[in-house]
């Protein structure tokens, strides 16, 4: 195995890039702007140029690079073909082949960004030491990744692991961003938690410190719950129910060792893990009950770390 590799995480506004040793140490990390002009046609050539510049700066030869891993914000199949990435303006093409053409490096692999982040958490973060792991990212949306036997489950069209779009409420009348109704994302994303709280506040007359809060946020709700606010705690319980039952259903299919919870909402910490695990244990099939729940550890670096891991055996 060569000494170094690159991990690239392409986002809608910036591309995060990391130079790693293949043993898992970050040597350097930096960002470039995501150039979305003309259907994002320059994104990969600008990334390739940035990688070449870094090799020159660090006096590292191309021969010392094991490979380049890339996370893309859209569906990517196991062969590295992107299947319409609206965020970047991309249609259908093979990202891995294109980057090989641009850089001359043959070991290039691409994956969906949420799945790749899960792989990163397995390698160096909250899922370290495990090979079978589910990652759930609670942010603006709800992302997910399923790792089995140390590898990402991509699905046939690259869209596996969309945990946020599991239906958890068959009675919902509002639509999710995806067009369906009752998706987990509608209750467990940062905005979803606030929506659940507002519904509870409307139905109840109970006094609560979150009742008249301007710009109510998920953080406000967790903070109030930690201080003993009964209604806020009820919101957290409800969130734990949605996530705990979703995890129990996932375990029924893939039976992982560990669930890793990440994203901005996971900053709530132990209170969140406890409530998810409690509801999980209530709804999990008997042989699945004894599973670990952990917080993600890599934050925004999960994407570059996981991308690097894609090219390491």
Nearest residue (CB) to Zn ion, 165 versus 294: 165
Residue 132 · residue 122 · CB < 8 Å: no
Least distance to Zn ion, CB of residue 177, Å: 6
Residue recorded with tokens 């259903």: 249
Least distance to Zn ion, CB of residue 239, Å: 17
Least distance to Zn ion, CB of residue 114, Å: 14
Nearest residue (CB) to Zn ion, 43 versus 168: 168
Nearest residue (CB) to Zn ion, 139 versus 306: 139
Least distance to Zn ion, CB of residue 273, Å: 24
Nearest residue (CB) to Zn ion, 134 versus 176: 176
- Binding interface with Zn ion (CB under 5 A): 165, 176, 178, 180, 183
Nearest residue (CB) to Zn ion, 44 versus 142: 142
Least distance to Zn ion, CB of residue 256, Å: 22
């Amino acid at each position: 195995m060569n000494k170094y590799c690159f991990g690239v995480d392409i986002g809608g506004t910036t591309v995060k890039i990391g130079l790693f040793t293949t043993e898992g140490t970050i040597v350097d990390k930096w960002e470039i702007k995501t150039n979305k002009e003309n259907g994002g046609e320059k994104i990969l050539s600008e990334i390739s140029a940035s990688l070449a510049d870094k090799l020159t700066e660090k006096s590292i030869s191309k021969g010392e690079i094991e490979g380049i891993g890339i996370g893309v914000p859209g569906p990517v199949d196991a062969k590295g073909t992107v299947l319409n990435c609206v965020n970047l303006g991309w249609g259908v093409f093979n990202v891995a082949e294109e980057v090989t053409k641009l850089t001359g490096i043959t070991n290039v692999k691409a994956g969906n960004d949420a799945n790749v982040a899960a792989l990163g958490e397995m390698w160096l973060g909250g899922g370290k030491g495990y090979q079978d792991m589910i990652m759930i990212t609670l942010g603006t949306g709800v992302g997910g990744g399923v790792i089995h036997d140390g590898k990402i489950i991509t699905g046939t069209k690259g869209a596996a692991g969309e945990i946020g779009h599991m239906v958890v409420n068959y009675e919902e009348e509002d639509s999710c961003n995806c067009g369906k109704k009752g998706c987990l994302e509608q209750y467990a994303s940062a905005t979803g938690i606030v929506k659940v709280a507002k519904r509870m506040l409307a139905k109840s007359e109970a006094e609560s410190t979150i009742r008249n809060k301007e710009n109510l946020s998920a953080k406000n709700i967790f903070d109030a719950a930690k201080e003993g606010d009964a209604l806020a705690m009820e919101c957290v319980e409800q969130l734990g129910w949605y996530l705990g039952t979703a995890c129990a259903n996932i375990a029924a299919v893939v039976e992982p060792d560990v669930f890793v919870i990440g994203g901005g909402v996971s900053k709530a910490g132990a209170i969140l893990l406890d409530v998810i695990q409690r509801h999980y244990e209530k709804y999990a099939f008997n042989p699945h009950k004894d599973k670990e729940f952990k917080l993600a550890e890599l934050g925004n670096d999960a994407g570059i770390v996981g991308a690097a891991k894609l090219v390491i055996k």
